[in-house]
């Protein structure tokens, strides 16, 4: 009987700890994390994976490497140029990607409390050992309100804010995160240019797997 008491106490502690872990990782957050993980691993079945010896794949890899060299610091000095955005758009269509609704205040690139659950889920996924060294694009998109110049600058600032948060909060290597803004060039719902779905951050896995 005396031997069972410590065992029961130990079992109770395990149950309590298990309860704490459940509270610390809500089901909704876990499902979002799983969704991000799956999205960054799956490729569209309509697009064949690029082959290592494909000239286009080699050119894209060299292009990404060039952007990496400019991204070795937390705050890159120059944004992605228009011609470079066109190349990134092609890469994004051919690689595993996921659109995330990351909340920003109106006319702001500040990440408030509402943005944290999505950022934490994203950071947890990108921090996984099997993603170490993988280069990800962080593409900012806006809706169609306002001028093209205004939206371009806002999308760049928001993409940079997400990248900065991932570097600072999750200690991800700066040269594995390339931020770019697309303004209102690529509306997700063209028929509803002011819809909230257009305001998003697209995360793209650039690995050719």
Domain boundaries, the chain: 27-205
What pLDDT sits at residue 21?
31
Position 43 confidence tier, pLDDT thresholds 50, 70, 90 = low
Cβ-contact 56, 50 below 8 angstroms? yes
The CATH number given to 27-205 is: 3.30.1330.60
Mean pLDDT of 37-47: 74
What pLDDT sits at residue 55?
86
Mean pLDDT of 22-41: 77
Cβ-contact 144, 99 below 8 angstroms? no
Position 79 confidence tier, pLDDT thresholds 50, 70, 90 = confident
204 backbone dihedrals φ, ψ, rounded to 5°:
-125, 130
CA geometry: angle 203, 70, 177, nearest 5 deg: 20
Tokens at 125, concatenated = 């996924």
Mean pLDDT of 151-180: 96
Sort strands 97-100 and 177-181 into parallel, antiparallel or unpaired: unpaired
What pLDDT sits at residue 26?
62
| 203 SS3 class | strand
pLDDT tens per residue, range 110-121 = 999 999 999 999
Mean pLDDT of 165-170: 97
For the ranges 9-18, 19-28, 177-186, the lowest mean pLDDT is seen at: 9-18
This prediction's pTM: 0.80
Q: In angstroms, how far is the first alpha carbon of the chain from the final one?
A: 58
């Amino acid at each position: 009987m005396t031997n069972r008491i410590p065992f029961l106490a130990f079992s109770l502690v395990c149950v309590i700890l298990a309860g704490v872990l459940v509270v610390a990782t809500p089901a909704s957050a876990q499902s979002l994390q799983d969704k991000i993980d799956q999205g960054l691993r799956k490729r569209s079945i309509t697009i064949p994976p690029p082959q290592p010896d494909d000239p286009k794949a080699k050119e894209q890899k060299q292009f990404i490497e060039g952007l990496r060299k400019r991204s070795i610091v937390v705050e890159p000095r120059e944004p992605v140029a228009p011609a470079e955005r066109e190349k990134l758009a092609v890469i994004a269509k051919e690689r595993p990607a996921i659109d995330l609704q990351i909340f920003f205040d109106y006319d702001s690139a500040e990440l408030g409390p509402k943005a944290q659950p999505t950022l934490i889920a994203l950071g947890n996924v990108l921090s996984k050992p099997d993603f170490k060294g993988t280069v990800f694009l962080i593409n900012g998109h806006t809706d169609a309100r306002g001028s093209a110049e205004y939206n371009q600058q806002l999308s760049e600032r928001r993409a940079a804010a997400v990248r900065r948060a991932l570097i600072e909060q999750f200690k991800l290597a700066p040269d594995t995160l390339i931020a770019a803004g697309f303004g209102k060039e690529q509306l997700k719902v063209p028929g509803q240019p002011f819809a909230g779905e257009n305001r998003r951050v697209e995360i793209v896995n650039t690995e050719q797997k």
